[in-house]
Structure 1
Amino acid sequence: MLTAEPVTRSPARLVAQGGAFAVVLTVVMVGSLDAHRLATTAVGLRRTISEYALGPHRWVFDTAVGLLALGTVAILAVLVRRGITRWSAGGSIAFLAWSAGLALVVVFPKHNWAEGPSASGTVHRVASLVAFLSLPVAAMLLARPWLKDAVWGGHARWTFRFGLLSALAFTPILYAVLVNALVGTPWWRVLPLGYSERLLVLVEVVAVLVVAVWAIAAAQPSYRPSSTDR
């Protein structure tokens, strides 16, 4: 009688897949909020994503951002476990800064600045900036040592490209901040902030998914880290 060979399941692979699923679920949840806003209001998507934290759908926003932060840490943990990077590496630290910034965005929600200054609102703004800037750095630093590697070069190059694209997607917001500093025009009036932010978030989330694909591949039971792994 023929018997099927047992299937080897890698716990690391399950963690990587779970992290990827959390990131995809984030996109679905925030996308549903955007679809609801487009269908029920006339303002379109000109307001920032964080604006959802000021309304009845705050729990959806908080859950989505929390899933993105946790999913990123899970993906990073697999990459560390499989020898692609180390916790002390610059790319890992930048990924943790991205996740920490997202967590602080949830803990300190967006503030309505029309009501005056707010410590919580200031923390939210700084945390958002830290997260947006950390992700491109994380992706490029993670990828750089592996760009010419025979096994992981393809994954590394895609990761680097999306890290660079994430940095480019941030430039419109940086331009608006510079205009505010030089001319005095409020930076949120220089460009359609809601649309610019969504473009940036979309590119950065795709970058995390590209890294997740790398982690899933590295978590294959047949892969064994070598002495040359970074």
Structure 2
Amino acid sequence: MLIPRLAATGGSLAVVVTVTMVGLLDLTVGPLRRTISEYALGDHRPVFDVAVVLLAAGSLAILHALVHKGLTRWRSTGAIALTLWSVGLFLVVVFPKTNWAMGTNEVSGSIHRFGSMLAFVSLPIAIIALARPWLKDNMWGRHARWTMASGLLSIVAFMPLLYAIALSVVSDVRWWRVFPLGYIERILLVAEVGAVLVVGLWAIAASRVAEWRVGETSRTTSAPRTTSSTTTVRS
């Protein structure tokens, strides 16, 4: 029980530290109209890089705890999507956005943009997929419903970006000029990081439960059984 508990607790703490670090940058540097990624173009890049890496690593640690306790499988939709979320975050760190003030680096900027979109799109899919099989479970239903709600909130937060992109396709308006991108990005980040933290709290709760009880079959939910007679894993 020690390994999943350490992974769940450490991952959740990493998420909290990430929010704190970015929040401190916003309070001391700003302005909020600028995108968060712009912090990586100046003297504050180490802070930005550490914060994003902590978020990516913390998410993987939480996923490890969920898999270890039988709440999902590595090859499930939720696990794959949460892994892609972390991969996208790592890409954001390795490939900074284009710094127009220092000349163009369009390859790095394009990969950075792809990593951002990969992360933002993958996270809601991961959260909803992880929650769905457990919504009616006697033991984990409440955690699953909170998780599902946070995933749906992430989708709502992502809608302004989708609208801006769609508008740019049918008009001459650049998608990043439709809304103040910095504000929208921060709303989305808070929603998605909050969703990861909700999953982290679920993983912490599961890590405190005896192994044989974590995957008990609910009387109200039909779920596929593994080869073990005592543990049910849902994907």
Same fold (TM over 0.5): yes
Q: Which residue of 2 aligns with 1:162?
A: 150
Q: Which residue of 1 aligns with 2:28?
A: 36
Q: TM-score, normalised by structure 2?
A: 0.89
Q: Superposition RMSD on alpha carbons, in Å?
A: 1.3
Matched residues in 2 for 1:95 and 1:48: separation?
23
Residue 217, structure 1, aligned to residue 205, structure 2? yes
Matched residues in 1 for 2:100 and 2:167: separation?
20
Q: Which residue of 2 aligns with 1:73?
A: 60
Stretches of 4+ aligned residues off by more than 3 angstroms: 113-117
Distance 1:113 1:177, change over 3 A: farther
Q: Which residue of 2 aligns with 1:3?
A: none
Q: Which residue of 1 aligns with 2:15?
A: 23
Q: Which residue of 1 aligns with 2:179?
A: 191
Q: Which residue of 2 aligns with 1:90?
A: 77
Q: Unmatched 5+ residue regions in structure 2?
A: 217-230
Contact kept? 1:139, 1:159, Cα under 8 Å: yes
Q: Unmatched 5+ residue regions in structure 1?
A: 1-8, 39-43
Contact kept? 1:10, 1:221, Cα under 8 Å: no
Matched residues in 2 for 1:85 and 1:155: separation?
14
Question: Per-residue displacement from partner, 1:126-165 (whole Å, max 9, x unpaired)?
Answer: 1100100000000000000000000000000111111011
Q: Which residue of 2 aligns with 1:5?
A: none
The amino acid of 2:137's aligned partner reads D
Question: How far apart are residue 119 of structure 1 and its match?
Answer: 0.7
The amino acid of 1:78's aligned partner reads A
Question: Per-residue displacement from partner, 1:51-97 (whole Å, max 9, x unpaired)?
Answer: 00000000000000000000000000000000000000000000000
Q: 1:122 aligns with which of 83, 90, 110?
A: 110
Question: How far apart are residue 179 of structure 1 and its match?
Answer: 1.1
Q: Which residue of 2 aligns with 1:64?
A: 51
Question: How far apart are residue 186 of structure 1 and its match?
Answer: 0.8
Matched residues in 1 for 2:99 and 2:68: separation?
42
Matched residues in 2 for 1:132 and 1:221: separation?
31
Provide the identity percentage. Answer: 57
Matched residues in 2 for 1:17 and 1:155: separation?
16
Q: Which residue of 2 aligns with 1:41?
A: none
Matched residues in 1 for 2:211 and 2:138: separation?
14
Q: 1:203 aligns with which of 191, 194, 197?
A: 191
Matched residues in 1 for 2:189 and 2:36: separation?
9
Q: What number of residue pairs does the alignment pair up?
A: 217
Question: How far apart are residue 110 of structure 1 and its match?
Answer: 1.1
* 3-state SS of paired residue (2:29): helix
Contact kept? 2:70, 2:232, Cα under 8 Å: no
Matched residues in 1 for 2:97 and 2:39: separation?
9
* 3-state SS of paired residue (1:141): helix
Distance 1:221 1:142, change over 3 A: closer
Matched residues in 2 for 1:221 and 1:149: separation?
15
Q: Which residue of 1 aligns with 2:233?
A: 229
Contact kept? 1:73, 1:96, Cα under 8 Å: yes
Question: How far apart are residue 112 of structure 1 and its match?
Answer: 2.5
* 3-state SS of paired residue (1:69): helix
Matched residues in 2 for 1:95 and 1:155: separation?
17
Matched residues in 1 for 2:232 and 2:17: separation?
35
